[in-house]
Amino acid sequence: MPIVKFTSNLKRFFKDIQTTELPGNNVQSLIAAAEKHYKGLSGYLLDDCGHLRPHINIYIGNTLIKDRKGLTDKVKSGESVYIVQAISGG
């Protein structure tokens, strides 16, 4: 199973969130599996159309995912997936 790692900033909203092995072979299925562990997470990550919100980035290893709308980027068992908030400011 892929290993999903979350930014520590998400602890503000999901107190129990931690690195978790989740079943799935693409980003969409990983987010669905993560929702079962952390209720409300998909609503934070995805907009009403199911597309990744602009302030969220997902990396598979060191590579930023390409499909922010369909979330079809493939994930292999044992790969690390990082879900992070894009930080901006001035």
Total count of domains within the chain: 1
Q: Indicate whether 74 pLDDT > 70.
A: yes
Q: Are 79 and 61 within 8 A, CB to CB?
A: yes
The predicted-structure confidence for 55-70, as pLDDT tens digits, reads as follows 999 999 999 999 999 9
The answer to whether position 73 is within a domain reads yes
The answer to whether position 79 is within a domain reads yes
pLDDT score at 89: 60
Domain range enclosing 80: 3-85
pLDDT score at 79: 97
Identify the H or E element spanning 6: strand 3-6
CATH number of the domain that residue 48 is part of: 3.10.20.30
The answer to whether position 90 is within a domain reads no
pTM greater than 0.85: yes
The answer to whether position 20 is within a domain reads yes
The predicted-structure confidence for 23-61, as pLDDT tens digits, reads as follows 999 999 999 999 999 999 999 999 999 999 999 999 999
